[in-house]
Structure 1
Amino acid sequence: MIELPDLMHRTAVSRGAHDWLAALPVRVAQVCADWALTPGPALAGGSAALVLRVRREDGSAAVLRLAPPGDGFAGQVRTLAAADGHGYVRLYAYDADRDAALLEPLGPALAAAGLPPERVLDVMAATLRQAWLVPSPPDAAVPPGTDKASTLIELIEQLWAETGQPCPAAVVDRALDYARRRADAFDPEAAVVCHGDAHPDNALAVLSPRPGAESGYVFVDPDGFLCDPGYDLGVVVRGWEDELLAAADPVALLRGWCARLSAATGVDAQVIWEWAFVERVSSGLYMIRHGQPDAGRAYLASAARLLG
Structure 2
Amino acid sequence: MAFEPPPRLVNALGEVRDDGASAWLDRVGTLLDEAAARRDVTVQRVHVPGGRSSLVAHVRRADGSPAILKLAPERFRPEAERAALTHWDGFGSVRLLDPGVNDGALLLERLHPEVSVRTLPEAKALLEAAGTLRRLWADPPEGRNCETVPERTGRQAVAMRATVESFPDVAPLIDAAIGTRDELVSSPPELRLLHGTFRQSKVLSGERLPWLAVGPDPVVGETAFDLARLVRDRVEDLIGSPSGPAITRRRVKKLAESLEVDQDRLRGWTLFRAVESGARALRVGRHQDGENLLEFAGWL
TM-score w.r.t. length of structure 2: 0.88
Say which of 152, 159, 171 aligns to 2:173. 171
Matched residue, 1:48: 53
Q: From the superposition, tell whether residues 143 and 124 of structure 1 become closer, same or farther in structure 2 (CA, over 3 Å).
A: closer
SS in 1 for 2:174: helix
TM-fit CA distance, 1:145: 9.2
Matched, 1:65 2:75: no
Structure 2 residue 95 is the aligned partner of structure 1 residue 90: yes
Alpha carbons 1:53, 1:64 under 8 Å: kept: yes
What pairs up with 1:132-211 in 2 under 5 angstroms? Answer: 132-133=137-138, 135-140=139-144, 146-161=150-165, 164-165=166-167, 168-187=170-189, 190-206=190-206, 208=207, 210=208
Correspondence for 1:224: 218
Deviations 1:20-63 (A, max 9, x none): 11111111111222222221222224111111111112111100
Partner SS for 1:185:
coil
Q: Deviation at 1:224?
A: 1.9
SS of residue matched to 1:193: strand
Query: Could you list the runs of 5+ residues in structure 2 that have no partner in the other structure?
Result: none
Question: 1:141: Cα distance to partner?
Answer: 9.9
**Equivalent residue of 1:98, what SS?**
coil
Stretch deviating more after TM superposition (88-97 or 142-151)? 142-151
TM-score normalized by structure 1? 0.86
- Unpaired runs of 5+ residues, structure 1, are none
Change (3 A) 1:201 1:142: closer
The partner residue of 1:27 within 28, 31, 39 is 31
Residues 139 and 255 of structure 1: CA distance in aligned 2, closer, same or farther (over 3 Å): same
Identity %: 25
State the AA in 2 paired with 1:11: A
Q: Give yes or no for contact 1:234–1:272 (8 Å, CA) kept in 2.
A: yes
Residue 92 of structure 1: SS of its match in structure 2?
coil
- Offset of 1:181 from its aligned partner? 2.1
CA distances 1:68-90 after superposition (whole Å, capped 9, x unpaired): 12111221101001101011110
CA contact (8 A) 1:87 1:131 kept: yes
Contact 1:45 1:201 in 2 (8 A): no
* 1:119 aligned residue: 124
User: RMSD of the TM alignment (CA)?
Assistant: 2.5
1:285 corresponds to: 279
- Conservation of the 8 A alpha-carbon contact between 2:163 and 2:283: yes
Q: Which residue of 2 aligns with 1:104?
A: 109
Where relative contact order (Cα < 8 A, 6+ residues apart) is larger, the structure is 1
Whole-angstrom CA distance in 2 between matches of 1:260 and 1:159:
33
